[in-house]
Chain A
Amino acid sequence: KQEVTQIPAALSVPEGENLVLNCSFTDSAIYNLQWFRQDPGKGLTSLLLIQSSQREQTSGRLNASLDKSSGRSTLYIAASQPGDSATYLCAVKRGNEKLTFGTGTRLTIIP
């Protein structure tokens, strides 16, 4: 059974700092990995999608990497802003078209 872990569960950093969020998964036979953000009381917004054959994806200040062999992904946020405060979730997809989620990292950017 695939298990996805995100550590830490919560993180606070001053505005302007670069930061890294971690995601690990137990079964490396994944199809792709997707990072989402979720604002309080809202739905999930897709940030980045990395296919199993890719090493990284970038969108603006966000960069996600994938090391399938070690079962790890990181989400790098550059020059953090208060608007980046949210819960960040990673999810891995297996070949059976099912998505398994981590429990998320709650990020707070301190102005």
Chain B
Amino acid sequence: DAGITQSPRHKVTETGTPVTLRCHQTENHRYMYWYRQDPGHGLRLIHYSYGVKDTDKGEVSDGYSVSRSKTEDFLLTLESATSSQTSVYFCAISEGGPYGYTFGSGTRLTVV
């Protein structure tokens, strides 16, 4: 979607290394989310943000941290990547309330 971009699109990294994924929006939406998608588990919420410097945990937050220093950017960091964090990561944005979600194209992360 033109209003939300994720980078990188693909990444291969080694176990134990730190990794940061970036989500950038041009829609000025208040809410931003990080999900991971795995076969058999569907999409699960990792962390979300409800404003600059305001973040909270989702259902699978262990091993992940986030930061939002500007409205348009939401960063997801894997402090020390593990093989269980191999997944496809999606960022989403929303204005909240009755509005729906818009998703980015995803980042495919492989931890070897």
Taking Cβ atoms with an 8 Å cutoff, the residues of A that contact B are 31-32, 34, 36, 42-46, 49, 51, 89, 91, 93, 97-99, 101-104
Contacts and interface: CB of A to CB of B under 8 A. Distances in A.
B90 interface: yes
A97 B87 CA distance: 24
A42 B105 contact: yes
Interface in B20-60: 31, 33, 40-45, 48, 50, 58
Contacts of B94: 97
Where chain B touches its partner, the secondary structure class is strand
Interface residues of B, number: 25
A44 B92 CA distance: 10
A9 to B, nearest CB: 10
A91 B102 CA distance: 12
Interface in B87-104: 90, 92, 94, 96, 98-104
Contacts of A45: 103
Contacts of B33: 99
A97 B48 contact: yes
Nearest to B103: A44
A101 B42 contact: yes
B98 A51 contact: yes
Nearest to A50: B100
